[in-house]
Chain A
Amino acid sequence: MSEEATGRKGARRGSWKLAVVVLFMFGFGFALVPLYGAICQLTGLNGKSSSMLVSSDVKERVDSNRTVKVQFLTTVNGGQVWSFSADQAQVEVHPGKLYTVYFDAKNQQDKDVIGQAVPSVAPWNAAKHLHKTECFCFSQQPFKAGEAKHMPVRFMLDPELPADVDTVTLSYTFFDVTELAQQNAPKSSTPQQTISPKS
């Protein structure tokens, strides 16, 4: 019997240890969130680092021997809240040079809404080489009923862009965040917007 009593005591101690493991793994599930964010930021997976901001006085090192196509995609999430399009579907750029392109968005509803554009870059290994100094995606965009906006994006591909990349796609999806903005402070990817002096 004493042997069984020791067994039961060990079992109780073991159970508490395993309960701690359970709590740890519950926390680990949540820890995956910042971990995933960090990995995406580091590698450019999911086009994550595309919203990286460089100051507008960044040194231009133009590589005029190389031409890369940059294509723009615009999507509106769920329904027809906005019309949303790029002025040009595609531009040809030299790495190391700053360019400005424009996007048009119009609130098609007769009430005020707040929009947040979420960018994504493909292919994934181009993501960390696309730098933006100005973008409407840096902050939430309030639209009055029926309001139209002409919005610039100022960007540069750095010369370290992998040689096999000849086309980069920059995609924006507009989300209606009116409810979310009322619920809590926005989690915008960067706090302030840099104003570029000229194009």
Chain B
Amino acid sequence: MAEAHAHDDHGHDHSHDHAHGPDKGIMRWIKTTNHKDLGTLYLWFSATMFIIGGLMSLAIRAELWQPGMQYFDPELFNQFTTMHALVMIFGGVMPGFVGLANWMVPMTIGASDLALPRVNNWGFWILPFAFTLLLSTFFLPGGAPAGGWTIYPPLVLQTGNSFPLLVFAIHLMGISSITGAINVVVTILNMRAPGMTLLKMPLFAWSWLITAYLLIAVMPVLAGAVTMLLTDKYFGTSFFNAAGGGDPVMFEHIFWFFGHPEVYILILPSFGIISTIIPTFARKPLFGYASMVYAMGSIAFLSFIVWAHHMFTVGIPLAGELFFMFSTMLIAVPTGVKVFNWVATMWQGSMTYETPMLFAVAFVFLFSIGGFSGLMLALAPVDFQYHNTYFVVAHFHYVLVPGAVFGIIAAVYYWIPKWTGVMYNETLGKVHFWWSVIWINVTFFPQHFVGLAGMPRRIPDYAVQFTDFNQISTIGAFLFFIGQFVFFYNILRCALWRTGMKPATARVWEGAYGLEWTVPSPAPYHTFEDPPHVTDAESPWAH
């Protein structure tokens, strides 16, 4: 991707101070305010974090190869589970989506850049510092945080020297997400090309508009919660300290008030991506465009009133259990609308199965499995059995890996010809898909069974009868991880070693519509300096 848009081959006859190519060398990336450069940086950062977080998950799976202690002491094992989650959520999935938003939100709405380019640069460059802080805790005396990514007190307050680093890393990630979210909102609300009304806007932009509002609403609450933890530990406050009149259960309420909208932050952009890809390869306009928008809005609203379904077992009254159970189950309605719309879009379409479409179809199927296990977990009476077992682990990995991560992968395959100007290798793409979709199921499906049979999560040892399923899981995890290097090789070819790769046309995909396909491939360094004309032909979903 590095030089894909290095040459601004669009002659700009007006003198605009941005109308020059990028700087040379490393300073280009440090000083850049270009949304495409920053999108690229975000995506590489995300890929790096996926590898680091993935290595931690392999350490976890290696330890769980058989009962008893294999390689790590329990303390280090707990550090791996905690840091795996933090790195994957805040370093992998969220920056991955922000990178896609950087690249594609301006290009799909016909804006020349994000509205606040310098803030955008700052938002990205905070992240390497945040994750240096976070990952450096492995080398501190006492090691990394090990109390789980949910950082419940009083357990997390027993963290040693790494505790303040954890808190400040979360503050920095929060600042980065919030600035990115504000940028996306004001860009979408103010910078759309003339004629692009909100209900003509492509669904990827819509999904990000809603996600950005969720981020703005809940990331500050997380910042507040970790600040309270910090003052409880070092400044003698008693927000969560029962001895001083506080209540540790209150932390769970505050955390999940952030945490549940957060899980939709991790999936809504994927909804937008899938809603973009399926119509392209079904060669039909998206079925039920407006209902897709309203469904995402409803999911976002409902996400604020369901948080206590994460804590059914803390002892909330029956009326509370019922409220949170039914409101949670209600989320299945708009989500079902989306799944049926995707299926209806494919119905009688002229479908072809290029790699992005394969990942999109797998998304619909596997995300639905995760959705169904979510419905089971929503049932308060049975949740008492499932709570804190591997069933929960299986559930959220089904919605996060074949959900959020497959969404990111599908988006990269879909748009990388536009970014780099060359087609990725389709054969390798298909190998990557089949390899991933097989081993991800081998990894996580057996975890449903051990969970239902009572294997608790976050514990390095287990009862012997769970050995077989755990070994299957471990084999799947290692093979899935290795297969991702096929993907990295493929995108590195497109980005850096393009000799012998097939050049991409401007349209790239036969059935693709939208403003991003009206510019050449690779996309010039500056696009839509003059606002484009929005035609009905480029927004077929809107009628």
Contacts and interface: CB of A to CB of B under 8 A. Distances in A.
A177 interface: yes
Instruction: Name the residue in A22, A23, A46 with the highest tally of chain B Cβ atoms < 10 Å from its Cβ.
Output: A22
Taking chain B's interface residues, is the majority helix, strand, or loop, or is none over half, making it mixed? helix
B32 interface: no
A15 B243 contact: no
B114 to A, nearest CB: 9
Interface in B191-237: 191, 194, 216-225, 228, 236
A25 B216 contact: yes
A52 B236 CA distance: 25
Interface stretch (B127-135, B250-258, B286-294, B477-485): B250-258
Contacts of A189: 245
Contact of A180 (B182, B187, B236, B253): B236
A139 interface: no
Nearest to B239: A33
A11 B186 contact: yes
Interface in B519-543: 531
B242 interface: yes
A43 B236 contact: no
B531 A187 contact: no
Contacts of B420: none
Q: Which of B111, B186, B239 has the most CB of A within 10 A?
A: B186
A15 B191 CA distance: 13
B249 A25 contact: no
Contact of B225 (A29, A122, A177, A187): A29
Interface residues of B, number: 44
A45 B115 contact: no
A25 B220 contact: yes
Given A23-B220, A124-B317, A180-B244, A15 B186 contact: yes
B501 interface: no
Contacts of B115: 7-8, 11-12, 15
Contacts of A23: 220
B520 to A, nearest CB: 22
A8 B190 contact: yes
Contacts of A32: 221, 250, 253-254, 257
A113 B399 CA distance: 50
B191 A11 contact: yes
A18 interface: yes
B238 interface: yes
B256 to A, nearest CB: 11
Contacts of B223: 26, 29
Contact of B221 (A3, A28, A45, A184): A28
A187 B317 contact: no
Contacts of B247: 36, 40, 46
Contact of A46 (B119, B216, B244, B249): B249
B244 A15 contact: no
B190 A173 contact: no
Given A32-B257, A180-B244, A15 B220 contact: no
Nearest to B191: A7
B249 A30 contact: no
A45 B239 CA distance: 17
A7 B160 CA distance: 49
Contacts, number: 119
A173 B242 contact: yes
Contact of A26 (B116, B221, B244): B221
Contacts of A33: 228, 239, 250
Contacts of B218: 25
Contacts of A191: none
A183 interface: yes
B243 A180 contact: yes
A36 B221 CA distance: 15
Contacts of A8: 115, 190-191
A129 B315 CA distance: 18
Given A19-B182, A36-B250, A10 B217 contact: no
B189 interface: yes
Contacts of A10: 186, 189-190
A87 B217 CA distance: 51
A19 B185 CA distance: 12
Given A15-B115, A32-B253, A43-B317, A180 B241 contact: yes
Given A11-B187, A14-B186, A116-B243, A29 B221 contact: yes
Nearest to A115: B243
B112 interface: yes
Contacts of B239: 33
B228 A15 contact: no
A30 B245 contact: no
Interface of A: 3-4, 7-8, 10-12, 14-15, 18-19, 21-23, 25-30, 32-33, 36, 40, 43, 45-46, 77, 116, 118, 122, 124-125, 173, 175-177, 180, 183-184, 186-189
The 8 A-B residue pairs with the shortest CB-CB distance in the complex, in nearest-first order: A29-B224, A175-B243, A11-B115, A183-B236, A26-B220, A25-B220, A11-B186, A187-B245
